[in-house]
Amino acid sequence: MRCLGAAAVLLGLLGGALATEVICYWASWTSYRTGNGKVTVDDLDPSKCSIYIYAFATLDENTLTMKPFDTSLDIDKKGYEKFVAMKKRNSRLRTLLALGGYNDSGPKYSSMLSSASKRARFVRRAVAFLREHGFDGLDLDYEYPTAA
């Protein structure tokens, strides 16, 4: 039942994505690589995807709200701004921000999800964070659930 609920939420978020949707995922840390492995926002082609996901933001352990994972790249070097600006080159593109991932999942997510009030606070602040930075939605990549 839990998987069915998650699938329904994802379909709702994507507006009932068609079979022709192409979802692309950009791992922001690739901009620190050298040589052929280096991929910056400027290297991304927004015409190839209908949805582009920026990985990752992180969950603040104290406030249980979203924050940039790499402030230098995401904010100072305008990673978020450049990423959502791809919509100027593809007006049908939707940009999502991924939260979590392998390195960020764990007990703090279980704590945030453990009560209705914590979830509501998270959602309010997540929506504000996404709007502030111009993203169209959230990809919650919560791995390795644990008991709160």
- 132 labelled catalytic: no
Are residues 142 and 100 in contact, defined by beta-carbon separation less than 8 angstroms? yes
Distances (CA, A) of 19 to 11, 14, 47, 82: 12, 12, 17, 28
Instruction: Give 100's Cβ-side CA count (13 Å radius).
Output: 18
Pairing of strands 51-59, 23-27: parallel
Per-residue tokens: 113: 């999800």
- Count Cβ atoms below 10 Å from residue 15 Cβ, excluding itself: 10
Task: Tell me the residue type at 73.
Answer: L
Cα–Cα dist 113/119, whole Å: 6
Residue tagged active-site, from 21, 61, 81, 143? 143
Cα–Cα dist 102/104, whole Å: 6
**Where in the sequence numbering do the catalytic residues fall?**
143
